[in-house]
Structure 1
């Protein structure tokens, strides 16, 4: 049987960040509330020169070869920060990245969960069409508003994944279990550009969904916690995933409990410094695990918990392939983090309020943004993208 899964992965987040200690001080909070209680140390700042389309393009461009661009026959764009209520962000990507014009281009939405659904649709499509490839991007900007309870869990960026037969990174196993319920823990009305959230309730729902789909997964698959080398979680803030992991740790022996905790720490190295990616959060966690774990080997099974408020949860597994690290862009995130520019809290607040919104024509100065793809402004209510 042909193996289908994630062949390549790539990541992008903008060139600016704030320090969580400084944000805590500015908001009159004890820094350890953010550093330990929330589990975040830094947060990506999204300038006006970047949106979900440019971030997705910057992420995908680094991993795609000329051959990939010809062989991709579907682009699935997962986001809850879409720029248009009609036109798919995937259509912009097709042009910006020079992808085969005979590809389908679709945008998907279900809070933070849509990236997982996109990945499963890609797997199933390539299973039927093993000579073709699908580009999956999960790109988002988490916005809750200045001086709100959710401000500490903002962030943004994009994860791009190429799904193919005979993948380098991981097989996507056919063992998914999922759960959906109509719950108002987090939402963003069509007229709003910041989210509404009941934080404590949402955290409780997240844990309840994890326990429910984990239990169903065990019943349906016959597997238990001893079958997993690591568990990766959707991490809107990294402490949330740790709480979920602790709910199931008693099912493991002492040695495996310690090992699972070590792998979890590896999986949240990057999320601690980027913040919330919504649809891309789980997959940045996977990227972090693959790059920072000291013990992963080919054949290891990785458990994946995806959650999207409103609400939908899913648990499935990946099986690592013999050359899994070869599918990652070498040194990409390390370089990105090393070259980011520190931003003071007052400057961050100005940037936050300077996003492109409304119908007016506008030109945005892009000279300080070194990314390949940037947003140069808007003309006649059409966003103007630039390839630098």
Structure 2
């Protein structure tokens, strides 16, 4: 591949958040009377994330953004644009970006706005950020993809649910990765997937949606290829509603590339087929491998012999294992995160596989429909940023599994987190110096009225719109230790913050436990006004350092699944 032109604009910081609770698809399959292989092999999925009470697109976006600022060591006051891509908005009219800006201490002079284009929303927001930086209108943007994927209980889409958020800090002279100067793109009026107003579950035309995905991904690839020439990245990353779909597209893409190569060279490939055991050749030629029976017939019509077809099977399988499967751990274990899908996979590969100079191809797809493709080039010394805690692997180590009954209660009951809250007092713990050199990221400062409503930082509007009196400031450290606990029933955590100086704590951890800052939706007023505020979560003791072992296990697991699906 000729080196395509890259911009001096890219990813300077990145953070991820996913709910701690998961549902195993084997358990869901048994509860629905379905063979688990339909989910585990047919969809290539193992489990998905389930939002806890009070977790939504806003709370997850706050967490991912806070982590991006922590990992990068970037002062939130230096952010002059906040863009959110989502299809899980909290309000019909009020942006998540404005909420984040106010709660994270970002300059009140920053641009803010939400963008909706289904699962491509975050990618569209990134393109906007690149354009604003290129034009000199801003210097640094915080871009977030945050979503909850939800389908009716018992529906075909139920096993493809998930939730999560990814936050990227985009700037010039990026320390992690830089974007290509060209992007592939296609859009059209396609009714493959939609969620009507006032409905919290989506409607999808399954087979039609798959055809739309495959077609648009191919056109976005072709459009980029026409601009920059041959594309041969180190890693391929595609939007992944479920892991089997990118695999299906990748097989299609590799087949078309090889057919085009054969047209250009006048033959198939240098034959290695004689190295295959004859029994394996028989299975491959029956369409039991990476090439379907119709495609095998197509190749034969193009004068490919059996050995060349077997070689192509081997090539596609190797490309899958080495360049695509590494990214698919994310959808296999966290589920479909809609707008966060592609960029969470990018972060996973950066943390666990990438080397300086590696090139990623990304193919983003949003139903309705659009597809955007592009390249990322990993920067020298990117590990000085990407390896800072928290890392995505922490979200694997600390997961907690739900029963199907508990999952169904979460699914049907959108109530707040009140049943799981206790109150306590905390003492601040020091944060790692490497990520606290800038003002504002050792913790979060918020203002409240006497009734516990969160107030804006804007001086001219520093009073409660609901007529409550008072205004006071509270600082919430990133890390703390519990010094006192008070169990109580039927509490309003925000009211207690206002009057007692206590903080909401998830569960009932013992005094002396180390806790870390989190965010949840804690109140919904009669007029549907929502309030998000800090809560503290115990730091799991399961956090260990066996990263290399676990990553190796993950690779073997993916390879095993691919073999079962061959």
Give TM-score scaled by structure 1 length: 0.92
My pick for the range that moved more, 252-261 or 90-99, is 252-261
Tell me the equivalent position of 2:401. 342
Task: Kindly provide the CA deviation profile for residues 53-111 of structure 1, in whole angstroms up to 9, marking residues without a partner as x.
Answer: 10000111012157430110000011001011111001110122111111111010011
My pick for the range that moved more, 317-326 or 39-48, is 317-326
| CA apart distance, 1:29 | 1.0
- Aligned with residue 289 of structure 1, among 343, 349, 355: 349
My pick for the range that moved more, 19-28 or 256-265, is 256-265
- Aligned with residue 322 of structure 2, among 256, 259, 262: 262
- In 1, distance between residues paired with 2:375 and 2:24? 34
Tell me the equivalent position of 1:359. none
- Aligned with residue 30 of structure 1, among 28, 35, 44: 35
- Aligned with residue 377 of structure 1, among 523, 527, 530: 523
Root mean square deviation, CA, Å: 2.0
Secondary structure in 1 aligned to 2:209? helix
Task: Kindly provide the CA deviation profile for residues 298-344 of structure 1, in whole angstroms up to 9, marking residues without a partner as x.
Answer: 22221110000111111111111112333324352212221122100
Describe the shift of the 1:67–1:155 C-alpha distance in structure 2 as closer, same or farther (beyond 3 A): closer
- In 1, distance between residues paired with 2:123 and 2:385? 19
Task: Kindly provide the CA deviation profile for residues 131-173 of structure 1, in whole angstroms up to 9, marking residues without a partner as x.
Answer: 7210000000001111110001100010000001111111111
Secondary structure in 2 aligned to 1:117? helix
Secondary structure in 1 aligned to 2:368? coil
- Aligned with residue 13 of structure 1, among 18, 21, 35: 18
Q: Is the Cα–Cα contact under 8 Å of residues 49 and 365 in structure 1 kept in the other structure?
A: no
Q: Is the Cα–Cα contact under 8 Å of residues 54 and 417 in structure 2 kept in the other structure?
A: no
Tell me the equivalent position of 2:126. 119
- In 1, distance between residues paired with 2:30 and 2:46? 13
- In 2, distance between residues paired with 1:229 and 1:260? 11
- Aligned with residue 198 of structure 2, among 191, 195, 203: 191
Describe the shift of the 1:2–1:34 C-alpha distance in structure 2 as closer, same or farther (beyond 3 A): closer
1:321-332 matched pairs, under 5 angstroms: 321-328=379-386, 329-332=388-391
Gaps in structure 2 of 5+ consecutive residues? 1-5, 259-268, 270-311, 422-505, 508-515, 536-566
| CA apart distance, 1:256 | 6.6
Task: Kindly provide the CA deviation profile for residues 268-321 of structure 1, in whole angstroms up to 9, marking residues without a partner as x.
Answer: 11221100100011111112222232xx33222211100001111111111111
- Aligned with residue 97 of structure 2, among 71, 77, 90: 90
- In 2, distance between residues paired with 1:303 and 1:244? 14
Residue 304 in structure 1 maps to residue 362 in structure 2: yes
Tell me the equivalent position of 2:418. 364
Residue 237 in structure 1 maps to residue 248 in structure 2: no
Describe the shift of the 1:327–1:260 C-alpha distance in structure 2 as closer, same or farther (beyond 3 A): farther
Task: Kindly provide the CA deviation profile for residues 170-219 of structure 1, in whole angstroms up to 9, marking residues without a partner as x.
Answer: 11112111111111110001121100001121111101111112122212
Work out which of the two has the higher radius of gyration on C-alpha atoms and give 1 or 2. Answer: 2
Secondary structure in 1 aligned to 2:41? helix
Tell me the equivalent position of 1:200. 207
- In 1, distance between residues paired with 2:199 and 2:140? 36
Residue 176 in structure 1 maps to residue 183 in structure 2: yes
Secondary structure in 2 aligned to 1:38? coil
- In 2, distance between residues paired with 1:365 and 1:129? 49
Give TM-score scaled by structure 2 length: 0.64
My pick for the range that moved more, 259-268 or 99-108, is 259-268
Secondary structure in 2 aligned to 1:64? helix
- In 2, distance between residues paired with 1:21 and 1:138? 28
Describe the shift of the 1:149–1:131 C-alpha distance in structure 2 as closer, same or farther (beyond 3 A): closer
